[in-house]
Structure 1
Amino acid sequence: MRLAGAKSIATPMEQNQKLTTVGFDQHVPSTSEDLTLADPSSYQQLIGRLLYLTTTRPDIAFVVQSLSQFMYSPKKSHMEAAMRLVRYVKHEPGSGILMSATVDNLLKVYCDADWGACINSRRSITGYLVHYGSSPIYGSPRNKPQSQGVQ
């Protein structure tokens, strides 16, 4: 996993990419050879580091959350998607949350949902962004069952 010389990339994930679990692949035949990683520890360590990075990089929160769903049985496609994300982070290493110098005690929260978007569980993916004044302080997607509404 030597990425020092790797080219950077402008997007964190391929558009409309759907990652699947090993169990899903067993029930739905596929033409691709997407094998389970022999040693998942390198994938798990990388995702752990990327989870930590989402504190200051909300732009990668959705992809990291998607990749973290495969921690116990990662496949080659999951590792490739994680490597793409690392190349994206390399594209703009100075990006992140900057706090505004102006004081505004207004808390704003934005929310969006993609109903039934998870191909593995058919659950909805809900994302949210929290602003304190004009500064974003937290943003993260998370799964919610389709039967629950956005609160």
Structure 2
Amino acid sequence: MKDLGDLKYFLGIEILRSKTNILLNQRKYALELISESGLSGSKLAATPLEPNKKFNTVEYDELTGNTDDVIYKDVTAYQRLIERLLYLTTTRPDISFAVQLLSQFMQKPKVSYWETCLRLVRYIKGCPGQGILLSSTPSTQLEAFCDSDWASCPNTRRSVSGYLVKLGNSIISWKSKKQHTVSRS
């Protein structure tokens, strides 16, 4: 066995240490994602998603007669971008809800969803080195936060919820997901 010193990179995650904190980020991975998406010279986006944007399936649009948004032709490019964004959520909980939402349309993405993915990459461009800050100060204070809405998904009438758990100043768990089906009466 050989001592290689302090860990600096592991599976594309950069580990930066100070006396009081440890920062985990995927800056190099994020910069590669931005470059490969062709968005190096683009404007930044202030938020991961447009406010109040509704996401519907192609089947829902067919039932309602909406023909404004067509299916994106390069499905594999959409899937590849979502896969890369999913890996980036390892150290970027701020994008996890947007990526989870966009990943629901992997089989039949629309052009507007592709554009939303590109907006998300432009958001990441604003701070590619953002990550998770772990405090080395011992603390046993456990905090948990959750948020949900009731039947917000227009396709399934499911509720969307998420949670965040912190131990001291460090995030130890988070999730944003769809939950319980609501019966239609």
TM-score by length of 1: 0.90
1:2 is the counterpart of 2:38? yes
Q: Please tell me the residue identity of whatever aligns with 2:111.
A: K
Query: How many pairs does the alignment contain?
Result: 147
The residue correspondences of 1:1-151 to structure 2 (distance < 5 A) are 1-30=37-66, 32=68, 34-147=69-182
Unpaired stretches in structure 2, ≥5 consecutive residues: 1-36
Secondary structure of 2:135's counterpart equals coil
CA distance in 1, matches of 2:150, 2:46: 27
Larger Rg belongs to: 2
Secondary structure of 1:97's counterpart equals strand
Secondary structure of 1:82's counterpart equals helix
CA distance in 1, matches of 2:59, 2:77: 21
How far apart are 1:35 and its partner, in Å? 1.1
Q: Bigger shift: 133-142 or 83-92? A: 133-142
How far apart are 1:120 and its partner, in Å? 1.3
CA distance in 1, matches of 2:106, 2:51: 22
More strand, by proportion: 2
TM-score by length of 2: 0.75
Secondary structure of 1:130's counterpart equals strand
Q: Aligned-pair RMSD on alpha carbons?
A: 1.6
Identity of paired residues, percent?
A: 50
Q: Please tell me the residue identity of whatever aligns with 1:90.
A: K
CA distance in 2, matches of 1:52, 1:7: 23
Q: Is the 8 A contact 1:128 1:141 kept in 2?
A: yes
Q: Is the 8 A contact 2:61 2:67 kept in 1?
A: no
